[in-house]
Each structure stands twice: as C-alpha cells, then as structure tokens.
Amino acid sequence: MKKALVRTDFNFPNQTSVYHGKVRDVYNINNEKLVMVASDRISAFDVVLPKGIPFKGQVLNQIASKFLDATSDIVPNWKLATPDPMVTVGLMCEPFKVEMVIRGYLTGSAWREYKAGARTLCGIALPEGMKENQKFETPIITPTTKADEGHDENISKEEIIAQGLVSKEDYEMLENYTMALFQRGTEMAAQMGLILVDTKYEFGKKDGKIYLIDEIHTPDSSRYFYADGYQERFEKGQDQKQLSKEFVRQWLIENGFQGKDGQQVPEMTEAYCDSVTERYIELYEKIAGEKFVKAEDEDIIARIEKNVTEYLNK
C-alpha cells in the first residue's frame, strides 16, 4: 500500500514555532526562514478530508518550485531551496493581507455572480452579454482579503488602499507583478496545450522589498483548461475539460457532501485514493511537461527530517 503523509511534528534545528494549515505545515526557523512541508492532506469545501492522497504533496511542491524558478526574473520570491521533494525552504516575509486573484476567463465564482446579475466584480465593470468560460479582453484582477478564520472576501483596489491594507504604491507594484506572472504562466501553459484560466498569488515584504511567497500555478491554486476543444465546447455551451482538483469536488457532490452541517464525507477507499494519486500525477506531467518520479516513500517522516536537518545545518 502506498503511504501518505497526513501529519508532521518535526523539531528542526533553531525551530521557534510551527503552523499546521489545511495542506501545508510551516516551521519557523529563528524568525528568518520557513520550512514549508507540503503534506498529502487534501481539502475541499474548506474541509480537510479524512485520508491523504499519496504523492500529492510531492506533486504540488515540485510544480510550485518549478514555477518559482521560472518567474524569478519577474519578481524575487521567497524560495531558497527544495531539500526534499515535499519541502521548500524560504525566506520569512511579512505577508500582505490580500491575495491577488487574476482571471483570464469568466468562470467559477465570478460566473456564478455574473449569472445572478452582478455587473461589477471587485470594483471592475463587466460588459453585458458574456457567457460562461468566455475570455476577457484583458485579464482582470479581483483581490480577496486574507481571512485568518472563515472565508476570504472579495474586495476592490480602492477599498484595499482606503483601509490601509496595502499602500497605493505597493498595491500598484502587486498589480504589475500579478499581470506579468499571469502572462508568463499563460505562455508556459500554452506550450503544454493548456489555458491558464485563473490563479492567485500571495506576496510579502522583507526589509522593504516585495517577494512572491507560497505556491504558484499549482492545480490547487489555479484553474487550467485544455486548449484543444476549448472554442468548440464554449460555442456549444458545454463544460470545459479542465485540470484542477475540481474532480474531487465533483466526486464529493455526487456522493452527497458539500461541507454542510450534518453531511458525511463518503468513504475514501484505497482504490479511490490511488485513483486521485494517478490524476495528480497526470496533472504534474501535463503542467510541468516532464515525467513524474515518485520519491522513496518507505519512511517519509525520516526522509524529510534527514534532508531538512542536513540543509539547515549547512
């Protein structure tokens, strides 16, 4: 049976604290570096599902690492090293209290609002007569607040500046970086026969300088369509073929779970978890354009501890 990493409790050299997120466990090293472990936990509808997905953490960590390297000429990023297939070590930055969501197409929550009659999104006017999955003339930035608890909320540029969440000067830098990163991601996706539909970026500051932080262009933070057949499906009003973890949400919905009170997560059999692993590996190979090599999984905890400790002690 394949093993999945669902919990970590490391004690690395000079560790001062740890934060267990939905998917990532983040270890603070001396208030200078962060060790971010991408676990195999999977969440949907703001609920962490009871079983992990083998190799999912490795898939996400390696995609993020690849795209951080491929965009470092646009904006400096937090990454220093990937000492283990499931781990990125990087600079500790002070995160901005907003997430920069950018959309190239009218889909997802934006489409649901549009369909319900909304014609502005985060202060941006949207034209009449748009259809689901239609491409915007130019991508739009629809930021959200970063909630410590509960859901992130849509917010406009004007509100962000007025509330002092980000200074005007910094926000305009974030906008420029977001547009440039999305353009690079779009070009890289096109080479793989994909459309980067929408994504989100997080930024932070260290010593007065802006850095790109967290993950980038992974299927957990981005939506991809297959370019082949996009136009035909769009014209016929059909669902687009997409690369994201949407297939997990669909399976949950079909089995009566949407994260609401009283609902039970359906049984995640070993066969089901293995099928999700295969989908994530397919995602990796399609997005990264290279074969996925499974890391040794006999004792994942010991492997990570050894690799990270050796890196930190260098």
Beta-bridged to residue 84, according to DSSP, are 87
**pLDDT score of 1:** 59
CATH label of the domain that carries residue 204: 3.30.470.20
Mean pLDDT of the chain: 95
Tokens 């689901």 belong to 132
**pLDDT score of 250:** 87
What number is the average pLDDT over the span 131-156?
89
Three-state secondary structure call for residue 51? coil
**161: enclosing H helix or E strand:** helix 157-162
Instruction: Round to whole Å and give the CA distance between 58 and 63.
Output: 8
Residue 111 lies in a domain: yes
Does residue 94 or residue 243 have the better pLDDT? 94
Tokens of 178: 């977001």
Residue 2 lies in a domain: no
Residue 196 lies in a domain: yes
pLDDT of 280-293, one tens digit each? 999 999 999 999 99
Residue 256 lies in a domain: no
What number is the average pLDDT over the span 214-225?
92
Residue 280 per-residue DSSP state: H
pTM of the shown model: 0.92
Burial environment of residue 151 by CB neighbours within 10 A (0 to 12, 13 to 18, 19 or more) = exposed
**117 lies in which domain range?**
95-243
pLDDT of 97-124, one tens digit each? 999 999 999 998 899 999 999 999 999 9
> Which of 7-16, 134-143, 195-204, 241-250 is predicted with the least confidence, judged by mean pLDDT?
241-250
Which amino acid is present at 40?
A: D
How large a percentage of the chain has pLDDT more than 90? Answer: 89
**pLDDT score of 245:** 81
**pLDDT score of 2:** 78
**The length of the chain, given as a count of residues:** 314
Chain centroid, CA 283 distance in Å: 13
Residue 216 per-residue DSSP state: -
Residue 30 lies in a domain: no
pLDDT tier, 127 (very low <50, low <70, confident <90, very high otherwise): very high
Neighbours of 136 (CB within 10 A): 15
Contact predicate 47/181, CB 8 Å: no
Chain centroid, CA 78 distance in Å: 15
What number is the average pLDDT over the span 273-277?
94
**pLDDT score of 220:** 85
Number of domains in the chain: 1
**pLDDT score of 124:** 97
Instruction: Round to whole Å and give the CA distance between 128 and 120.
Output: 11
Three-state secondary structure call for residue 34? strand
Residue 183 lies in a domain: yes
Residue 33 lies in a domain: no
Residue 309 lies in a domain: no
pLDDT at 147 over 80: no
pLDDT at 242 over 90: no
pLDDT of 163-181, one tens digit each? 999 999 999 999 999 999 9
**221: enclosing H helix or E strand:** none
Instruction: Round to whole Å and give the CA distance between 298 and 2.
Output: 9
pLDDT at 149 over 70: no
